[in-house]
Structure 1
Amino acid sequence: MTRGAPWSIRRRLALGVVALVALLGILIGTVSVIALRQNLLERLDGQVQDVMRSWVGPGSGAQLPGGSDLLRTGLVVGVAVPGQNARGIVTTSSGDATELTAAQLERLFSTRSRQPATIDIPRLGAYRVVLESTADGSVLAVALSMDDVDGTTRDLALVFALVTAGALVIAAAGAVAIVRVALRPLGRVTETATRVTELQLASGDATIPERVPDAEADPRTEVGQVGAALNRLLGHVEHALVARQASEEKVRRFVADASHELRTPLASIRGYAELTRRIDDELPADAIRSLDRIESESIRMTALVEELLELARLDEGQGLVFGEVELVRLVTDAVGDAYAAAPDHEWEVVAPDPPLTIEADAARIHQLVVNLLGNAHRHTPAGTVVTVTLASDADEATLTFADDGPGIPEELRPRLFERFARGDASRSRATGSTGLGLAIVAAVVEAHGGRIEVFSVPGDTRFVVRLPLRRPDAADASHLPD
């Protein structure tokens, strides 16, 4: 069974106040109505007793009373003499006396209690009756209508119902207003938390300037305790982010410095290896094979160092030279180079008529295209069709690199653009991949204020790159991925 949506604090407090007011109104009304009815019944019993005493006073007999002093509207009196039929009358609003029927008389004398009791006389309604026995064995009955008691009770109950309903409306409106005012500081705390979630903490400044105002961070109140706790949490997160950023900056500087310093010795190793190979006629076969391995490994390490240095520059936002870049020609030339390097693949370009120009760094965009084409070549078998599609709208250009190869393993997709991410080590080494190509692609796209998406199933893999037609703001261009 599906549970409903949870109630907010505002709703709970408002409904709680309304329920409390309703409970108090019902309780007060019920007690008041019961007390009034009891009081009215006691007064009516007193009136019935007075009529009985007036009737059975000195000199009176077991005869029906008469006279305007005794008979009153709604009065029922009856006499039951042993050996005779019972008789009774009821006075109407006009002052006339009407004989009671046998059924009415039977009901009038049905009670055996000598205390006032309530009976329902057919066609007359509810009455309060008192019976009295005389010395000759006769039974006298006096009853007064309860219409006034019932009417007054109903009126009072209706008044309390209306008053309670009005009080509920006022209480609901007041509770909503009071709760809204009381929870307004909590709303400001929520706004602060929302603004923090909108900060670009992953790629921007590690500092968190947002804080809950002091007025909403007073620990003497419940909302203040929440605000103070949030401020402490933000401070802790900011400290951790600053420390992490400082650590990452050290790592970046180390990588950049190490890459820069390694370029010269690697070039020297490669040069000496090439120089030594020129005298291979005087070297044994094992030495020649060793020199070949030294040269190939120096070439691979040089490529790795160059890519690490390139990533370090992109991380720092350095080396971007923006200008007009004609994408159709750039992509066509890159695909032509890819065909020359890998004629066992089928290469296609689908593009609008030139020019399709964007404002970007031409060298970096060329590197992006070459890396994605090389990725398609290295990780797909011979005969794979690789198609590059270009399109544009008013704001951005879209480059789609699609192939009908085996696809990207599902476990690799979440970390596809991470550094040194490889499907398997043997394949990467066999193809000369360093695992940094797609990381450089992501960094170039981010540096230009664009975005990249990947869709892959067996037989259909697409890298979709979207780049703005115009140069992004300097602030956006400087925020680069880790």
Structure 2
Amino acid sequence: MGAALVAVCTALALTTIVAQRAYLLGNLDERVTDSAERSQGGLQRREGEQSDTDLGFLAERGQAVGTVAARFDDDGHVIVAEVVTGDGHQQVLTAAQRAALAGITTDGTLHTRSLPGLGTYRVTALGGDGVPVLTGLPMDDVQELIGRLVVVEAVVAVVGLTAAGVVCAVVIRRQLRPLDRVAATAVEVSRSPLGHGEVTALTRVPDRDTDPGSEAGQVGAALNRMIDHVESSLAERQRGEEEMRRSEERMRRFLADASHELRTPLASIAGYAELMNRGTERIEASLAWRRVSAESARMTGLVEDLLLLARLDEGRPLQVAEVDLASLVAEAVWDARAAGEDHNWQLALFLDAPALVVGDEARLHQVVANLLANARMHTPVGTTVIASVEATDAHCVIRVRDDGPGIPPSLLPTVFERFTRADASRSRTTGKEGGSGLGLAIVDAITAAHDGHIHVESALGHTEFIIDLPRAGTTPTTDRSASPASVSV
């Protein structure tokens, strides 16, 4: 930028000097020509009174100091030449000075000659119909003026460039302050421990330095966008690492729990088998055999539950068909009534449209059956359990609620995790062997496989599991009432 400014100023100064020099020389040439014409006219007026060497016209008024005049012979050689001195008199030129005027033709052409002792002159010679005469004016004043002009232009240029440089330095420094702050922000971000540790909020460029109307603001805004991207990427990486750690922890806990669950029935089977090998009495052998069968069935159920969860985790496709949730839930309630007659079982239907979903009927029945079994196992005798179905144009909702003691708050966040068991406050009997802790995990996995979701709300006297499934088709809502149809079974 500084070099460009110097070049511009230099070009302007040279242009000014050349223009002024051309103007001054042009003005001098006009004066020389006018003086030559006036001198020739003066000779013509003195015709008959003069000799071939007469330069008396130089004594006339109006002749400038330093004016040179000369006469030619018939061969064009200068025969006489004089100059007007400072006191108004004429002084004859020397032979050397006359020799400097040789070779000038009388065609009006302007010439520059250096006369020894007098300086540089601008001269011309006129002939034509008049008396040939040579006239010249000194150029020293013009050259001195041009020299002073050059000095003035140089001084002005230097002063101007200095002032412009100072102003530019101040302006540029002020304009670069936002870039300094942007650079400081970038340095601070580069010093953050991005490769390890918890992701913290990275420093941003201040809003005042992100104005899109300036180049510095555009750089600041671009840096902020880059920092946003880096921060989101780091947060995503950290979430992935945290999820991986949680997954590994769940896997270790799952393997430990599964090993424990399988070891218990295997130990029982081994013990009863040993008892049978000892040749015990027939009654004891029959009891041992029944216990072996029961523990084998328990272990088989646990293995089947684990295999089901594994298939669901792998995303294996389910049987797909149109399922009527109202009928499915009603059948599940009847089954629960047969298994637990000491509870009050109720069915409620809130149907604005047919409760139809697309999915695996057997797995959806397993979902409802697990929820009802969970309520039966963990609530006291006489508890009311209500299973309801709601259907709208877009969703079908299954609710299973009871008025039992509720789920402890500490257990709610992990209630759908595998091998999670309720404590004794949720069990309706003490000392009774509980389930494997996979029932609600299976419910959650099957619901997710049907693009639905499940959540639980629990307090003392009210526990409710809510399953939301997408409804099959887009059957329009009818005008019939949405009042519930409640059935006690």
TM range (shorter): 0.3 to 0.5
Tell me which structure has the larger Cα radius of gyration.
2
TM-score, normalised with respect to structure 2:
0.46
TM-score, normalised with respect to structure 1:
0.46
